[in-house]
């Protein structure tokens, strides 16, 4: 009996000290069994506060694949953990992630995805910490202080696609192909939170499979969702380059939708916790662990009482941190739609961690602004270069990394040259660059005819190869060609002249295209 009492006492002390049950130390040894997770999560039953807000729904999507895009799936892991701590039920969170990084040969900890918060820790803290973790086998396991939960991946691999994503938002089970079949089956009093993290370009968002997602198709689905009367309000957080162009001039008022984006319609978004930055990832990680905007809103949500913090207050904090004005490596966080919704508390969409219930909101917080950030489109190069730099001389790993870097650069130069040459062939040597680089006034959508844009992109890719994650930056140029009245046959003729040969890329998934 004495031994049993001592054992129980030690277990209780471990729980109270935050080292315990369900967490794992740095070696991965289990300290608490996952079955005890319910002690630390709210059960999901509606409290008095929850009963007044309807059901909370969330859709989380990492729209990329490839180890160099590690940060997008890590961001989704972090967001899921945050929402589960906030009290959202597993059945009300739909997760899209390709699931190709946890057991990737490049991953220094097979089966584990760490998030950017680990980079805030000292070496001693890292060695003894309980930290965010995704373990992907049949599901994702999240571990953070006092928490263990299992996240079922609803849509993985080829099931992470435009068709399924839009069907999930609409609650249209018959339109699904593969996956768990889970959709946003919301009602008129419910609140919906959508978080999308990936590469993007003017008017387009990435997907790991073709086709990519165009802005007009997304806005059309949001309008249909509103017309169905199946939500009270919807909040959309979007991480991507030129992400403002997805809503600029397209998302009308009156849909009860509030959207914020990592960047305006003309600029890149940024990765963070990358090799060579301060803070940096653990040295064995040769890739960025997070995205600047995403990390900003999630780390803010981690420490605040979301019953008292409003969407607008978070927007202001995230805007300051993401701008990174001290170092000039950041973007302008934007807001669109029914901005009046931003006066509402984050609690309506994310719940709140009970551990933060006594926290008083302040306009400043202790979260660190990185001394450096990495352009989203350069994150693959950062990975290839860091891999090359660390590989032993004469090793096959060094040869492969060098080949990947050179092929990525060659592909970039091919795309840049091809688009410039097409512009000159269509409009002349002097006028071509002017047409391609035109930026429409604020409040006006990227293109007048979205079908034309999609057609010209398909035509370009037929002759010149995939635009790829990097090539999304040229979507504005193709849109301007449409706006100038160029038809498919003229685009085909110019593309055939401009692209006599197409160089290879590091591997196919880096260069997936926009076409179906």
* CA-closest candidate to residue 348, choices 390, 292, 319, 307: 307
The size of the chain, in residues, is 516
DSSP state of 150: E
Instruction: Tell me the three state secondary structure of residue 113.
Output: strand
Both structure tokens of 169 = 């938002």
Q: Quote the distance between the C-alpha of residue 235 and its chain's center.
A: 15
Both structure tokens of 318 = 């995230």
Q: 297 forms bridges with which residues in the sheet?
A: none
Q: From the candidates 241, 288, 482, 499, which is the catalytic residue?
A: 241
Both structure tokens of 319 = 């805007």
Please give the torsion angle defined by the CA atoms of residues 450, 453, 455 and 459, in that order, rounded to the nearest 10 degrees.
-170
CA distance linking residue 423 with residue 425, whole number of Å: 6
Both structure tokens of 173 = 């089970």
* CA-closest candidate to residue 270, choices 294, 287, 246, 302: 294
Residue 78 falls in the annotated catalytic set: no
CA distance linking residue 388 with residue 320, whole number of Å: 35
CA distance linking residue 511 with residue 488, whole number of Å: 23
Residue 221 φ then ψ, to 5°: -70, -40
CA distance linking residue 22 with residue 29, whole number of Å: 10
Residue 136 φ then ψ, to 5°: -105, 115
Q: From the candidates 72, 191, 199, 474, which is the catalytic residue?
A: 199
Q: Quote the distance between the C-alpha of residue 322 and its chain's center.
A: 15
Residue 464 falls in the annotated catalytic set: no
CA distance linking residue 300 with residue 451, whole number of Å: 40
Both structure tokens of 118 = 């680990």
* CA-closest candidate to residue 287, choices 36, 115, 426: 115
Both structure tokens of 350 = 């994310």
Both structure tokens of 372 = 């450096």
Please give the torsion angle defined by the CA atoms of residues 480, 486, 491 and 497, in that order, rounded to the nearest 10 degrees.
-90
Both structure tokens of 35 = 């079955």
DSSP 51-92: HTS--EEEEEEE---SGGGHHHHHHHHHHHHHHHHTT--GGG
Percent composition of the chain: helix, strand, coil (DSSP 3-state, to 5): 45, 15, 45
* CA-closest candidate to residue 55, choices 185, 180, 222, 164: 185
Residue 319 CB neighbours (<10 A): 18
Q: Quote the distance between the C-alpha of residue 148 and its chain's center.
A: 23
Both structure tokens of 348 = 């309506």
Question: Which residues are identified as catalytic?
Answer: 199, 241
């Amino acid at each position: 009996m004495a031994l049993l009492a001592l054992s129980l006492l030690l277990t209780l002390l471990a729980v109270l000290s935050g080292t315990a049950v369900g967490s794992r130390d740095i070696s991965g040894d289990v300290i608490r069994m996952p079955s005890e997770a319910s002690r630390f999560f709210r059960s999901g039953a509606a409290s008095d506060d929850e009963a007044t807000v309807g059901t909370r729904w969330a859709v989380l999507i990492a729209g990329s694949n490839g180890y160099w895009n590690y940060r997008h799936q890590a961001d989704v892991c972090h967001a899921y953990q945050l929402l589960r701590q906030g009290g959202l039920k597993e059945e009300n969170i739909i997760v899209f992630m390709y699931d190709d990084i946890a057991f990737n040969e490049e991953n220094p900890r097979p089966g584990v995805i760490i998030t950017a918060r680990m980079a805030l820790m000292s070496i001693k803290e890292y060695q003894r910490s309980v930290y965010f973790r995704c373990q992907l086998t049949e599901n994702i396991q999240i571990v953070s202080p006092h928490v263990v939960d299992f996240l079922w991946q609803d849509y993985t691999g080829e099931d992470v696609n435009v068709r399924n994503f839009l069907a999930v938002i609409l609650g249209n089970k018959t339109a699904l192909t593969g996956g768990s079949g889970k959709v946003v089956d919301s009602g008129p009093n419910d609140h919906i939170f959508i978080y999308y993290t990936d590469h993007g370009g003017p008017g387009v968002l990435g997907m790991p499979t073709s086709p990519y997602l165009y802005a007009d198709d997304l806005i059309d689905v949001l309008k249909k969702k509103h017309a169905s009367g199946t939500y009270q309000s919807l909040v959309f957080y979007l991480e991507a380059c030129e992400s403002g162009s997805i809503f600029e001039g397209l998302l009308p008022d009156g849909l009860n939708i509030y959207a914020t984006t990592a960047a305006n319609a003309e600029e890149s978004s940024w990765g963070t916790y990358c090799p060579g930055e301060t803070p940096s990832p653990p040295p064995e990680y040769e890739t960025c662990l997070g995205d600047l905007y995403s990390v900003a809103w999630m780390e803010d949500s981690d420490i605040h009482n979301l019953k008292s913090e409003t969407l607008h207050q978070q927007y202001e904090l995230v805007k300051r941190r993401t701008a990174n004005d001290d170092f000039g490596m950041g973007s302008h966080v934007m807001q669109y739609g029914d901005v009046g919704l931003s006066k509402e508390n984050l609690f309506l969409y994310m719940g709140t961690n009970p551990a933060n219930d006594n926290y008083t909101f302040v306009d400043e917080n202790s979260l660190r602004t990185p001394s450096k950030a990495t352009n989203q489109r350069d994150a693959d190069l950062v990975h290839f270069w860091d891999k090359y730099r660390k590989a032993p001389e004469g090793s096959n790993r060094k040869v492969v990394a060098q080949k990947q870097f050179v092929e990525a650069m060659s592909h970039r130069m091919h795309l840049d040259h091809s688009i410039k040459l097409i512009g000159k062939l269509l409009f002349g040597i002097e006028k071509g660059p002017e047409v391609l680089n035109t930026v429409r006034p604020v409040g006006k959508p990227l293109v007048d005819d979205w079908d034309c844009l999609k057609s010209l992109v398909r035509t370009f890719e037929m002759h010149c190869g995939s635009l790829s994650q990097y090539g999304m930056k040229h979507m504005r140029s193709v849109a301007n060609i449409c706006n100038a009245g160029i038809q498919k046959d003229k685009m085909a003729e110019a593309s055939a002249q401009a692209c006599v040969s197409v160089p290879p890329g590091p591997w196919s998934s880096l260069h997936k295209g926009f076409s179906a």
